[in-house]
Amino acid sequence: MASNYRDRIATVDESGGRVWVYPKFINGVFLKRRQVVSYLLIAFLFAGPWIRIGSEPLLQLDVIHRKFVILGQVFWPQDSFLFALSMVTAVVLIIVFTVVFGRLFCGWVCPQTVFLEFIFRPIERLIEGDRNARIRLDKGPWNAEKIRKKALKWVIYFGISFAIGNTFLAYIIGRDELIRIQTDPPGEHIGGLLALLGFTAVFFFVFARLREQVCTTICPYGRLQGVLVDRDTVNVTYDYVRGEPRGHRKRNASEEELAKQGDCVDCGLCVQVCPTGIDIRNGVQLECVHCTACIDACDSIMEQLAMPGGLIRYASENSIAEKKPFALTGRAKAYIGVLVALTLVLLGLIFFRSSIEMNVYRTSGTLYEVDDQGVISNLYRFTLLNKSHDTLHVQLAPDDARFSLELVGSTDLVVPAAEMVEGVFFLRTPLDGLSEDRAKFRIVLRDDDRVIASTKTEFPGPIPGMKH
Ligand code: SF4
Ligand code: SF4
């Protein structure tokens, strides 16, 4: 057992330098399950920008135009409370999951782990070999073989990083804009091309060099573990009750000697396969990303020794120390309650959200005008934001029969799906019909005869009784 595991993380040496991890490949039941999940996720991630729900993408986080689309639902800056509530709900969901299952998300779903373990590392193994061959290659001189292998690996890494960079950009600017960047002359999209190269460089650096450091030192979610997990959280855990005292098994050990020994034969395979370089036998550690490689490794050793598997398994501290069966704690139940409440509120708000948002305000710096026929008029600006998937043909009108509304520039009001239109209109009324100096009424927006939005407005005029 390394005695310094509480002093520093496994990938940092005494002088603060990086200790490069060479995880050994291990096959097993969990690897096969994670392969299925990971390749499905990767396919989904690359397909995401091309999937549309109605006329909108599945997911688009267009921070440039402040337009966010989640599951085909468009969120504008005017919906920022809904977006914020979605984010809070997502955070609570992750907290619930973490309280109950630890870093399960990291090992099975996080794009960092999924891409590193199921795309980049297999390519590295294919070109440079498994753990021992890679250690030999890295320690060896820069001869022709090493240059050829490293160059080939980095060129492939760059190509995949470029593909990820394209996809990442498509989630921000949308597939159509990405296609324009890819197909138009480069001079027309310098900014877009620089963004593309920037993302590619970041992904290349993350997967070629940073690797597990993202999970062990950078990712804020990883740092949250210390406050979220407790003795009832299900983690990848070493069963020390069964495994200790550990030790190699002598060939001709007696029954009595074997009975005194735990099931861990101290083969070290669980440490060699760990992509974060830790020894899970030291207990639950922040660096563990739940990749399950140590479970597969230990199960393979147990199988060779004809002993039951599961010496390392998904289990809580309490289930190992006190043999308690899995049960939701009060804390987990409380978090689940909060999550359910937030989800219901969020769904309700989305479901009852108006499909169009209207804003009307008097044009600043203008005064009412009275013409020769004694008709008084005021000028207004308006914005209409269509949050639906359909183009809307709408009409604006005051709900007070004394007033008439005249659009400036056009008579037809067409608001395309997921777009905003702006315009100007006059409100008019005969001066002698006005009995107050600030008439208050509503501007109503109709789609055919159906009222779909309305907003209050004021119509300033002369003080009644005053001669104009
Ligand atoms: S301890 Fe096991 S599950 Fe955790 S990161 Fe290492 S190999 Fe993966
Ligand atoms: S793989 Fe299993 S038997 Fe080998 S050292 Fe790890 S816990 Fe012990």
Domain limits of the chain? 29-228, 235-330, 356-460
CA distances 393 to 233, 355, 397, Å, are 55, 13, 14
Look at ligand 1, atom 4, and give the residue with the nearest C-alpha.
288
Of 54, 95, 36, 17, the C-alpha closest to 342 is: 95
CA-CA distance, 362 to 441, in Å (whole number)? 13
**pLDDT-derived band of residue 1, with 50, 70 and 90 as boundaries?**
very low
User: Is the CB–ligand 2 distance for residue 245 below 6 Å?
Assistant: no
CA distances 92 to 75, 219, 263, 339, 428, Å, are 20, 17, 39, 6, 52
Asked if residue 57 has pLDDT above 50, the reply is yes
CA dihedral 25→27→32→37, nearest 10 degrees, is: -20
Asked if residue 467 has pLDDT above 60, the reply is no
User: Is the CB–ligand 1 distance for residue 274 below 6 Å?
Assistant: yes
Asked if residue 468 has pLDDT above 60, the reply is no
Asked if residue 183 has pLDDT above 70, the reply is yes
Cα diameter, the chain? 118
> How much distance in Å is there from the Cα of 140 to the middle of ligand 1?
28
**Which atom belonging to ligand 2 lies closest to the Cα atom of 294?**
1
Are the C-beta atoms of 59 and 90 separated by less than 8 Å?
Answer: no
Question: Which three-class secondary structure state does DSSP give residue 173?
Answer: helix
What pTM was computed for the model? 0.80
With b meaning 16 or more CB within 10 Å and e meaning fewer, what string describes 357-374?
Answer: bbebebeeeeebeeeeee
CA distances 222 to 150, 206, 283, Å, are 31, 16, 16
User: Is the CB–ligand 2 distance for residue 307 below 6 Å?
Assistant: no
Mean pLDDT throughout 300-326? 92
Size (the chain), residues: 468
Question: Tokens at residue 279, please?
Answer: 């020894």
User: Is the CB–ligand 1 distance for residue 289 below 6 Å?
Assistant: yes
Look at ligand 2, atom 6, and give the residue with the nearest C-alpha.
270
Are the C-beta atoms of 295 and 274 separated by less than 8 Å?
Answer: no
CA-CA distance, 125 to 82, in Å (whole number)? 45
CA-CA distance, 348 to 351, in Å (whole number)? 5
User: Is the CB–ligand 1 distance for residue 294 below 6 Å?
Assistant: yes
Question: Tokens at residue 19, please?
Answer: 């200790």
Q: Worst-scoring range by mean pLDDT, 60-74, 83-97, 248-262?
A: 60-74
**pLDDT-derived band of residue 448, with 50, 70 and 90 as boundaries?**
confident
CA distances 314 to 95, 104, 176, 293, 407, Å, are 18, 10, 44, 12, 67
User: Is the CB–ligand 2 distance for residue 270 below 6 Å?
Assistant: yes
User: Is the CB–ligand 2 distance for residue 268 below 6 Å?
Assistant: yes
Structure confidence at residue 3 (pLDDT): 59
Structure confidence at residue 4 (pLDDT): 67
Q: Which of 144-153, 342-351, 417-426 has the highest mean pLDDT?
A: 144-153
**Which atom belonging to ligand 2 lies closest to the Cα atom of 269?**
1
Question: Tokens at residue 325, please?
Answer: 């069966």
Structure confidence at residue 7 (pLDDT): 74
The class level of CATH for 356-460 reads: mainly beta
CA-CA distance, 134 to 132, in Å (whole number)? 5
Asked if residue 26 has pLDDT above 90, the reply is yes
Asked if residue 256 has pLDDT above 90, the reply is no
